[in-house]
Amino acid sequence: MGLLALLASALCTFVLPLLLFLAAIKLWDLYCVSSRDRSCALPLPPGTMGFPFFGETLQMVLQVRDEAQEIRLIYKTHLFGRPTVRVMGADNVRRILLGEHRLVSVHWPASVRTIRGSGCLSNLHDSSHKQRKKVIMRAFSREALQCYVPVIAEEVGNCLEQWLSCGERGLLVYPQVKRLMFRIAMRILLGCEPRLAFEEMTRNLFSLPIDVPFSGLYRVRVARRVSAGCRRRRRAGGYKDALQLLIEHSWERGERLEYALKQSSTELLFGGHETTASAATSLITYLGLYPHVLQKVREELKSKGLLCKSNQDNKLDMEILEQLKYIGCVIKETLRLNPPVPGGFRVALKTFELNGYQIPKGWNVIYSICDTHDVADIFTNKEEFNPDRFMLPHPEDASRFSFIPFGGGLRSCVGKEFAKILLKIFTVELARHCDWRLLNGPPTMKTSPTVYPVDDLPARFTRFQGET
């Protein structure tokens, strides 16, 4: 009798829960497969759907890599409560990016839509997206960028002087670069904005959409109320900055000032500082690891008269920045290996074929920027940091979607020219004022939501003494 009781206890404690778990897994698989479009004869892409309800969201957040899936150009998964197809490779990405409004439409996770706001550029569609993008583009015209150059150079120069004053104790590069890029975004794009409030928004960008006290979404709502207190505006050089243009656009549409500030400031600050901070940190990393590349950067600066400190005519402007071709290649190679944004989110508007598989209507589609760079056939020795590869001409059709750090199609990054100029100025000032050493060697990179070094990149900076 005691043995039977022991067996019954073991059955209830171990076997029954296991059977229930396996049954749940099976039912989950049947549910996921049943969501395919049965009117289409093509199969679903290969891949796994993960655990019931959670899918593979936890693996994505924790960045657990599945190498078996990552070698596929297209595979299915389940993320943020939705069946999802992840795609990479120039041909597949071309179909997605050029299929906007026809095959797919932008559809970010609920937490992103809530935090960034329904009225921000990345969440708008059709004519609303076109109109808002046109407004923002006025803030990134060549004339406006020319006005930004001395402001950026001043901020970068002041920041580098602070880094040089740290001496032997060194500093953590990534937090410092984030502060620098935030100051630049504040001065150029919108004026005064509470930095800590915005960082709260960024940390919780991919949080669960649960608005209760102490949750990520609740903290973001509080942070947005704080950031909406910003009212000071800035004008200089006869141009209107991006926030002023967006607010005027919102007024024309009959929107309240507070709503316009919330929508526009979050949008501009995330795009204007988080991504550029990631890219600038990667630039410091690669130039620190490859001194021969830094030397070639300085040779280009010397050829343009920008390296000699005694030259009073070496101030930067758009014309001279556009002549710095090799530095442009260094930035491109940095963005190839470490694109700040790993990919983009879409939703299928109808069932369509991609690479021999069906993409069912209503499924999410994620195109991967970093993986597309990794598998691009136009790049040889892909793991090597080699800016010279961009000095060579590539076939336009082949390279257009093999290198997509700023996305592509109708939703390519609206501030990409601003980012390129900012990163060029940063590289110029860094190369002609500083030498540095990475104290921990090559860093491990993580994505949350942009790419950054796990150790924050500790480094020691000294003054460059090459030209006097």
Q: What tens digit of pLDDT does each residue of 124-171 get?
A: 777 877 887 887 787 788 888 998 899 999 999 999 999 999 988 899
pLDDT for 187? 83
Residues forming beta bridges with residue 339, ordered by sequence position: none
pLDDT for 454? 95
**Highest-confidence range of 40-49, 142-151, 436-445, by mean pLDDT?**
436-445
Buried b (16+ CB within 10 A) or exposed e, 250-287: beeeeeeeeebbbbbbbbbbbbbbbbbbbbbbbbbbbb
d(CA 422, CA 411): 21
Cis check for the bond before 449: say yes or no (omega within 30 of 0): yes
Assigned CATH topology for domain 34-463: Cytochrome p450 (1.10.630)
User: Strands 458-463 and 434-438, how do they pair?
Assistant: antiparallel
Residues forming beta bridges with residue 106, ordered by sequence position: 346
pLDDT at position 72 over 50: yes
pLDDT for 112? 72
Tens of pLDDT, residue by residue over 270-326, are 666 889 999 999 999 999 999 999 999 999 999 999 987 655 556 899 999 999 999
pLDDT at position 413 over 80: yes
Q: Which residues are annotated as a binding site for heme?
A: 413
Residue 122: name the closest of 448, 415, 446 by CA.
415
pLDDT at position 372 over 70: yes
**Mean of the pLDDT values across residues 427-445?**
96
d(CA 120, CA 266): 8
Q: Which residues are annotated as a binding site?
A: 413
User: Strands 239-240 and 357-359, how do they pair?
Assistant: unpaired
Tens of pLDDT, residue by residue over 216-245, are 555 545 455 544 444 344 444 445 666 676
pLDDT for 445? 93
The tokens describing 67, both together, are: 């190498």
**Mean of the pLDDT values across residues 410-418?**
88
Residues 6 or more apart in contact with residue 97 via CB below 8 angstroms: 367, 401, 404, 407, 408, 409, 411
Residues 6 or more apart in contact with residue 76 via CB below 8 angstroms: 32, 44, 45, 46, 47, 48, 49, 83, 84, 85, 86
pTM of the model: 0.81
% pLDDT > 90, the chain: 46
Tens of pLDDT, residue by residue over 78-121, are 877 788 999 999 999 999 999 998 999 988 877 777 766 666 77
pLDDT at position 379 over 80: yes
60 or 141, which is more confident: 141
234 or 54, which is more confident: 54
Q: Could you tell me the CA-to-CA distances from 195 to 17, 181, 182, 227, 270 in Å, in that order?
A: 48, 11, 7, 9, 11
pLDDT for 336? 96
Tens of pLDDT, residue by residue over 162-220, are 999 998 889 999 999 999 999 998 888 765 544 444 555 555 555 555 555 555 555 54
d(CA 108, CA 441): 35
